[in-house]
Structure 1
Amino acid sequence: MPAGRGAYFVSDSTGITAETLGSALLANFPGVAFQRHTIPFVDSAAGARNLVADIERAADGGARPLIFATVKSAEILSALGASGAVVIDLLGGHLTELEEALGTTASEQLGQFHGVGDIERYFARMRAVEYAIEHDDGQSGRALDIADVIIIAPSRCGKTPTTMYLALQYGLLVANYPLTDDDFPSDGLPSTVSRYVQKCFGLTTTPLRLSQVRHERRPSSTYSSLAQCTLELRRAEDLYRRNRVPFLNSSTKSVEEMSAVIMQSMRLRS
């Protein structure tokens, strides 16, 4: 395991919130190496004390570990504080501020951050995921008229992860379509998506990055060669420009960043 300062994302629920917020904070320190650990369902002081013992053994006299916590219980927070680690309470005073603003006290029930909540919103996300799976990589041309966005790009430019993120996180109906050599003799978009040009958004990347990604899938092939990647990307970008399809270079952007740009560019709302 690479050396790095211990960073623990600790939650009384799934740990997703702690990991997301903690990672967002750590991203501001690109020069520092971290060993990251997500510890969900720490819902008792006894569980916290057991975790503390593990953290202390792992630290073994090194730099003080970091604990990013999303737990409601003061007793659990106190137990985590006894570890000697730097405890960052990601809820902090925010619940108190909300209590004051809303004129009521927060529920003490644990693990509510990732509950179903709005049931209609939950089912909308599930329907969006089903739609994304059906329409992944051009597998289906059915019901493209109800798509919120159709992502088009050469193979391995990030279509599928972006599609799934938009569906699961925002409940958007997203299809994606791969651009292949067969799609480029024409100046227009592929026939499957040409009627929906206003819904299309393109992805591109750098030839070197695309070649590296493809090499992991098909090493030493024409598909992964730098020449082939350069040709496909040039053709794709020309196609986007001719058809006025907005597009984004995905080479240095996370799925979250790409999704945010797509939503803003296409004026989509969750």
Structure 2
Amino acid sequence: MFCIFHVSDGTGITAETLGRALTSQYPGIEARRVTLPFVRDAATARATVARIQREAADSGCHPVILATLLDEDIRAVFREAGLPLLDFFEHFAGPARELFGEGAAAEVGRSHGVSDAASYDRRIRAVDYALGHDDGVSTQSYADADVILAGVSRAGKTPTSLYLALQHGLRAANYPFTDDDLESDRLPAVLWDNRDRVFGLTIEARRLAAIREERRPGSRYASVGQCRQEVRQVESLFRRERIPCVDVTPMSVEEIAASIRAHLQRG
């Protein structure tokens, strides 16, 4: 068993994301993961080394460090302790310098800090928008949306809206089709007026039923028959109104968001 330590001089988000992407290609390994952020000086690095050695000894696992550390002196602390270290910045800094023709800023926290204040503010405003326009609660400002996610209840609209806002600064509203909407067999007026912003999410009926069962066990709402009927009606509506959509059944939130962004970029 491995102990994978995602070590960073910043938040650890990049180290963990890249580390998980790398290790996902080795499905046979069994690993315990720990994220250790804000390792910005030699003293903290030495304390981190001691923690890694202690946790590896206590658990009997093999330690592996997947890191994003800008300072070579800090990386050296881990190597001098004999710990296996793969640092993503170290491996790509040289080729990137040759490609871009200049050295890196070597400034800690640029990816997930507030060094780009405009981008940070845009993401915060987008989160506020997504929360204020969740689940069809408010439809007054749909004209300000970058995208309006539409679909049956529990198809993944809310987490996708928040992900688009927090990660990409997109103003994402979401609208759940009600029984009345489905019986009318046409787009609700508020969506029709903003149909160029509407993007549909659909889902396999049995998967939807399993999700709903966790929320309302044994209810008609969670029955496979009810889910199948709603999904069939919504998919028919999307086809008839030529609303772009994606089947989210096999997809993660990240993959759903990537599909939506690709659609928006195509215009």
Q: Same fold (TM over 0.5)?
A: yes
Query: Match for residue 138 of structure 1?
Result: 136
More helix by share: 2
- Match among 167, 189, 192 for residue 190 of structure 2: 192
Deviation readout 1:141-160 (Å, 9 max, x if unpaired): 11211211110011111101
1:1-12 → structure 2 map (5 Å cutoff): 4-12=1-9
Alignment of 1:107-126 (within 5 A): 107-126=105-124
Deviation at 1:231, TM superposition (A): 1.8
Map of 1:179 onto structure 2: 177
CA positional deviation for 1:11: 0.6
Q: Does 1:266 align with 2:264?
A: yes
Identical aligned residues as a percent: 44
Partner of 1:25: 22
In 1, the alpha carbon distance for the partners of 2:81 and 2:219 equals 52
Instruction: For 1:106 and 1:126, locate their aligned partners in 2 and report how far apart those are by CA, in whole Å.
Output: 27
1:121-152 per-position Cα deviation (integer Å, ceiling 9, x unaligned): 22222221111111111011112112111100
Q: Is the 8 A contact 1:64 1:85 kept in 2?
A: no
Q: Partners in 1 of 2:158 and 2:74 — Cα distance?
A: 39
Q: Given the alignment of the two structures, is residue 81 of structure 1 paired with residue 88 of structure 2, yes or no?
A: no
Matches within 5 A, 1:1-270: 4-60=1-57, 62-100=60-98, 104-267=102-265
CA deviation after TM superposition for structure 1 residue 243, in Å:
1.0
Unaligned runs of 5+ in 2: none
Distance 1:205 1:267 in 2: 23
Q: Deviations over 1:219-268 (max 9, x none)?
A: 22222222222222112111111111111111221222111111112336
Shift of 1:198: 1.7
C-alpha separation between the residues in 2 aligned to 1:232 and 1:86? 53
CA displacement at 1:83 relative to structure 2: 5.0
Separation (CA, whole Å) in 2 of partners of 1:13 and 1:136: 31
Return the letter of the residue paired with 1:21: L
Q: Secondary structure at the match of 2:5?
A: strand
Aligned mates of 1:66, 1:215 — CA distance in 2:
40
3-state SS, counterpart of residue 182 of structure 1: helix
Are the aligned partners of 1:125 and 1:170 in contact in 2 as well (CA < 8 Å)?
yes
Aligned pair count reads 266
Q: What RMSD, in angstroms, separates the aligned Cα atoms of the two structures?
A: 2.2
TM-score (norm 1): 0.89
Moved more, 199-208 or 220-229: 220-229
Aligned-partner residue type, residue 27 of structure 1: S
TM-score, normalization by structure 2: 0.90
**Separation of aligned partners in 2, 1:113 and 1:155:** 35
Q: 1:96 to 1:130 in 2, by over 3 A?
A: same
